[in-house]
Amino acid sequence: MATDLHGSRLALEEIPAAIRAYGPDLFLACGDITHFGKPPSYVEDLFRQVTVKSLAIPGNCDPPALIDTLDRLGVNLHLKKTTVGGETIVGLGGANPTPFGTPFEIGEDNIWRGLEAIMEPRAILASHPPPYGHLDVVPGAGHVGSRSVARAVNTYRPKVVLCGHIHEAAGIVEGEVTMINPGPAKEGHLGLVDVGERVVARIV
């Protein structure tokens, strides 16, 4: 998985190389693929180089119109669910409101309604914003994750939460619900998650 690419040339090089090295069944782009829609051809360039099944959600720094591009490429997971290798994967793009007025922000009530309509117990949740209280601390601001994503985690107990958004809060939470924010791909950080009898997550 990769999150917070922000149109980075480094991410565009590192992601295909990591896929060749690790051979995953699925690549998931977990938001902020572009930097406010730029570079314009970035999404097409990225998925043209990815040689495995792919899914993607937009982030708050992606324009909502990016959903049309992801749909056209057949990878859009925003407010959708699909099954890969017998595992249900649910997606939430954008983010809960920020102080910065970024292009794709969603009110907490709408986040909850969207997730409630598609979430399943023990599914894999790919959410650009982290759940409130986990992998969501911004120095000087405290916890800034989504309370509705946290509610979904508490209600449905997903196997895994794949998230990003908070660059400073990279890490892994292990337990009944494994959570991973590998850190920004624009700095070369990627995540690898093995979902089997147990979940093993690592940052590569």
Return the domain boundaries, the chain.
9-203
| Tally of CB atoms within 10 A around 65 | 11
Q: Are 148 and 111 in contact (CB under 8 A)?
A: yes
Q: Are 191 and 162 in contact (CB under 8 A)?
A: yes
Record the pTM.
0.98
Q: What is the domain class of 9-203 according to CATH?
A: alpha beta
List the pLDDT tens digit at each of the 204 positions of the chain. Answer: 999 999 999 999 999 999 999 999 999 999 999 999 999 999 999 999 999 999 999 999 999 999 999 999 999 999 999 999 999 999 999 999 999 999 999 999 999 999 999 999 999 999 999 999 999 999 999 999 999 999 999 999 999 999 999 999 999 999 999 999 999 999 999 999 999 989 999 999
Calculated CA dihedral for residues 76, 124, 18, 93, nearest 10 degrees: 40
How far is residue 204's CA from residue 66's CA, in Å, rounded to a whole number? 27
Quick: pLDDT tens for 2-45.
Answer: 999 999 999 999 999 999 999 999 999 999 999 999 999 999 99
Percent of the chain with pLDDT over 90: 100
| Tally of CB atoms within 10 A around 168 | 13
H/E element holding 88?
strand 87-92
Q: Where are the alpha helices (DSSP H) in 51-127?
A: 66-73, 108-118
pLDDT of residue 192: 98
| Tally of CB atoms within 10 A around 151 | 17
